[in-house]
Amino acid sequence: MRNFKKGCNRFKKVSSYNQTLTKNSFKMEEVLPELKDFITGYCDRYKIQKVNPDALTVDTSIDLDLDIFDIEIDLFLAEFADKFRIDNSKFTWYKYGYPKGSMGVEVIRTVFGYRNNWVKKVANKMYKPKFRVQNLQEAMKTGRLV
């Protein structure tokens, strides 16, 4: 019995250390508040989907996670460029690939929802995200969308 208890204590210590390590030392870059407000406002205004501003990260995909693709993403980028005075004259989709969406991802999203992590992993396997919040944040910093 003693060996079992020691093993459990070690496991608890190691797991608590890993949780502390992931929480404190590997903090990702924060999304700018103006960008969060723009994205949530855009999604609310055009009734795309409810977006939690606290859940937005720089790795959030515009086309997969926010479900903005096809012509909607062109309108989204045009409004983004107008609001923040971003130069998008040299922007082309050749660098990223044009986001068209995926029928398989839509079926999975409809049946299981998009809240569970396993659904997001399967969706990422089926459809590779093309455009992320990180690209928009970089455009805000540099003033150019490329």
Q: For 104-138, write each residue's pLDDT tens digit.
A: 998 998 899 888 889 989 998 998 888 999 999 99
Q: What integer pLDDT is reported at residue 97 of this predicted model?
A: 87
Which residue from 51, 43, 94, 95 is spatially nearest to 68, judged by alpha carbons? Answer: 43
Residue type for position 69: F
- Which residue, chain included where needed, has tokens 């079992």? 4
Residue 128 in contact with residue 113, Cβ under 8 Å? no
Q: Which long-range contacts (CB under 8 A, 24 or more apart) does 114-118 make?
A: 114/65
Angstrom distance (rounded) from CA 127 to CA 139: 24
Q: How far is CA 139 from CA 46, 72, 90, 142, 144, in A?
A: 23, 19, 12, 5, 5
Query: What's the pLDDT tens digit per position in 15-51?
Result: 443 443 344 334 468 899 999 999 999 999 998 888 8
According to DSSP, the residues that pair with 132 across neighbouring strands are 61
> What local confidence, expressed as pLDDT, does residue 127 receive?
87
